[in-house]
Chain A
Amino acid sequence: MREIGEVLRGVASKLLNSGEVDLVLGYTRGESSHVSVPYVATSPEETGNLCFDGTSSMALSKYLLQDNFAGKKTALIVKGCDYRAVKLSISENRIERGQVYLIGVDCPGMHQSPFCMSCEYKSPPADAVDVLLTGVEAATRLEVSSHRRALPEIEAIERMSEHDRFEYWKRQFNRCKHCYTCRNACPVCTCRVCLFDRENPEFIDAAKDQLAQHQFYHVIRAFHVADRCVGCGECARVCPEGVPLHLLHQKLQRELDKFYGRYRAGIDELPTPLSHAHAHEPDFFGKVGKQ
């Protein structure tokens, strides 16, 4: 069985040769041998630099929102989670299906990613992508585990006293520098203008020494992705300060599942749970409900 990178390079150069696409957006080996970084191949020759392995975690669809991809037919390498992000972006009118050629890969799971351990959608649906590459050696696959087992931190935090929970997150948030890497790497943070970049009115204050502003940023962002998170885990991976942001999103997703039934962005169709509401849903604030 041929190594997936090889197949990938073949597909990519064919696409560029035939002129079916203008660009191939994938991954290449980073400066240090144990990382791979995003790469744009513009010619068949350049496709030689493409690779794919357990470090190719960046969600690439986000790049398509940038002007420098506008009007260019782009082939895009999508893992299961990436495909979900693409589908969401398409249904939210941010990406045109016609603008992209989807090279799906049956993802082996990224190295030490708790998400991948509990991932239910490693491979994009064969009929949804233009080509699906399989054959990543089973040996490299992470063993599948339950969401609970993969993310034990959530329960651990829930079990803490309120004081300890506060201290825990205070410590995490206070390292935040508002570098916005989590937002910029997030494949479902797709607003044209982010709320936190709004200048009139200014929703968030730029001071980096105020816990309140950190809380504001992370809570609001968690809300914006709560029902739209595709579980790629990039937010946590890219954070220079190692703030476990994914826990916030996954916590909210669990709550949503619990109260309003299971919904998976990029799998299930719109509307997302928070963008519609109905009489039959539970009421926690009524006379009987908790105050």
Chain B
Amino acid sequence: MTQNSFEPKIVAFCCNWCSYAGADLAGTGRMKYPENIRIIRVPCSSRVDASLVLRAFQNGADGVMIAGCHPGDCHYDTGNYHTRKRMVLLKSLLEFIGLSSDRLLVKWISGNEADRFQVTVERFTKELKQMGAYEKARDLRCAK
């Protein structure tokens, strides 16, 4: 698949209070970003566990994004501390077994950082286009 024609599939888990709201605000502000992202709403980024991330890759996602409130701003106080702790380990384990950890993006995006959300999606999509389609963690019985 050539870089320019390839459209990566991005599965994003956004916490309801910050990042999902940030995405909403990007919409309200009519900001434009690539269509590649599909947002799954979670109460808090700490609701996301490794199995959801890997499941997304199995199903043919080229990138997975987990977005939560900035540390210190968590609606639930400590949720994103759990997230960063788990995800940094998950990333290094993926790295260790040869799965590019760059395809798992963890970002802090607050409810009013619409621009940050937009830029993040743009950049991530661009990066994934360069990396190309992801096959290493896909269950080959799933459509690409």
Touch A–B, Cβ below 8 Å: yes
Indicate if the CB atoms of B139 and A169 lie closer than 8 Å. Answer: no
**Separation of A195 and B99 alpha carbons in the complex (Å):** 23
Q: In the complex, what's the smallest C-beta–C-beta distance from A201 to chain B, in angstroms?
A: 10
User: Is the CB–CB distance between B105 and A291 below 8 Å?
Assistant: yes
B141-A255 in contact (CB<8A)? no
Of A54-62, A216-224, A261-269, which binds chain B?
A: A216-224
Q: Which partner residue on chain B sits nearest A203 by CB separation?
A: B51
Query: How many Å lie between the Cα of A252 and that of B95 in the bound state?
Result: 11
**A window 127-173: CB within 8 A of B:** 157-158, 160, 162-170, 173
Residues of chain A contacted by B70 (CB below 8 angstroms): 286
Task: Give the interface centre of A163, A164, A218, A252 by most chain B CB atoms within 10 Å.
Answer: A252
The reply to whether B93 and A222 contact each other, CB–CB distance below 8 Å, is yes
Contact residues in B for A285 (Cβ distance below 8 Å):
84, 87-88, 106-108
Interface bits B84-128 vs A (CB < 8 Å: 1, else 0): 111111101111111110000111100000000000000000000
Residue among A173, A212, A252, A286 with max Cβ neighbours from chain B (10 Å)? A212
Task: Report the bound CA distance from A218 to B116 in whole Å.
Answer: 35
Interface string of B67-80 (1 = CB under 8 A from A): 00011100000100
* A212 close to B138 (CB less than 8 A): yes
Say whether A11 faces chain B, with CB atoms less than 8 Å apart: no
CA of A170 to CA of B140, assembled, Å: 14
Q: Is A281 an interface residue (CB 8 A)?
A: yes
A259 cross-chain contacts in B, Cβ below 8 A: 85, 88
Q: Known contacts being A220-B54, A285-B106, is A166 close to B93, with CB within 8 Å?
A: no
Tell me the complex Cα distance, A273–B81, Å.
12
Are B89 and A255 neighbours in the complex by a CB distance under 8 Å? yes
- CB-CB nearest in chain A for B96: A251
Contact of B85 with A166 in the complex, beta carbons under 8 Å: no
Task: Determine if B50 and A223 form an interchain contact, defined as CB atoms under 8 angstroms apart.
Answer: yes
In the complex, what distance in Å separates the CA atom of A190 from the CA atom of B92? Answer: 25
Given the complex of chains A and B, what is the CA–CA distance between A230 and B98 in angstroms?
A: 25
Q: Does B41 contact A (CB under 8 A)?
A: no
Which secondary structure dominates where chain A touches chain B? helix
> Measured between C-beta atoms, what is the minimum distance from A222 to chain B in Å?
6
Residues of A243-289 at the interface with B, using a CB-CB cut-off of 8 Å, are: 248, 251-252, 255-256, 259-260, 273-274, 277-279, 281, 283-286
A172 to chain B, nearest CB (A): 9
Q: Which residues of A contact B82 (CB under 8 A)?
A: 277
Report Cα–Cα, A39/B35, bound state, in Å: 61
Please, what's the 1-or-0 string for B23-57, where 1 marks a CB less than 8 Å from any CB in chain A?
A: 00000000000000000000000000011001101
B10 to chain A minimum Cβ distance, whole angstroms, is: 15
Let me know if B19 is at the binding interface, CB within 8 A.
no
Give the shortest distance, in Å, between B53 (CB) and chain A (any CB). Answer: 9
- Contacting residue for B85 out of A162, A167, A274, CB 8 A: A274
A residues engaging B (CB < 8 A)?
157-158, 160, 162-170, 173, 195, 203, 205, 207, 210-213, 215-216, 218-220, 222-223, 226, 248, 251-252, 255-256, 259-260, 273-274, 277-279, 281, 283-286, 291
Can you list 12 A-B contacts with CB-CB less than 8 angstroms, sorted by A residue number? A212-B140, A216-B54, A219-B54, A219-B90, A219-B93, A223-B90, A248-B93, A248-B97, A251-B92, A252-B93, A279-B72, A281-B84
Binding site for A on B (CB under 8 A): 50-51, 54-55, 57-58, 70-72, 78, 81-82, 84-90, 92-100, 105-108, 136-141
* Smallest CB-CB A-B distances: 5 pairs: A166-B98, A165-B98, A277-B81, A212-B139, A169-B97
